[in-house]
Amino acid sequence: MSAELAGLYGGTFDPIHQGHLAPVEQIAAQIGLEQVVLMPCHIPPHRQSPAVDSTHRLAMVKLAAAAYPRFRVSDWEISRQAPSYTVDTLHHLCQTWPDKHWYVFIGMDSLLSFHRWHRYQDILTMANLVVALRPGAFIEAAEAEITRLLAEHQVEDIDALKHSKAGAIYLAENELQDVSATELRQQLQAGNTSHPMLNADVSRYIAHNGLYQTTPQA
């Protein structure tokens, strides 16, 4: 029996939008992943604190994920009151489901700083890395560490990716989704609670709870 292929997609999701979900759904379908675990982080180690608390971000991720049968939502990082490191989360997932092959999804902007992630080499011993194209982030801007990592780990062929248990990096060619959470927060703060890239239930949740109305604390 072949191994089950599963994805892990972490982020602040502040708020979650189509630019997060559409590329990952498109690529996950191409690889044939049975499920993708969405993992909102509690305290992101690499950036400033989220604008709204983790309970709201988790609720919005659940609402947005409901439109996609492949997506599951986990509160594992949020329930741990500690900085969220992908390497720890992946270790937990690999121990819980030892028979699955894991694919970690990130956007191109995240790949450009991947060599600063905590124990990033260990991530590649446990999973494959799948990189979604994102407007404004270009592989040409990669620093030497990332170029070296790609020379060692990149696979061009999706079939090679499908059969890799760990250690492959795949640069996907998904459709671009020109939206960012930063831009959405600015629009929400200006009072525009609906946006074509926001799921309607998420928009209603934001309006109902009065989220993103004030300038976030740095």
Q: Which residues bind ligand ATP (CB under 6 A)?
A: 11-14, 19-20, 23, 106-107, 109-110, 132, 134, 177, 179-182
Q: Which residue is nearest to ligand ATP (CB)?
A: 107
* CB of 70 or CB of 163, closer to ligand ATP: 70
Distance CA 145, CA 121 (A): 11
Distance CA 196, CA 179 (A): 10
* CB of 136 or CB of 191, closer to ligand ATP: 136
* CB of 137 or CB of 163, closer to ligand ATP: 137
Q: Residue 15 has which token pair? A: 């708020």
Instruction: Please state the closest distance from residue 98 (CB atom) to ligand ATP, in A.
Output: 26
Instruction: Please state the closest distance from residue 19 (CB atom) to ligand ATP, in A.
Output: 3
* CB of 108 or CB of 168, closer to ligand ATP: 108
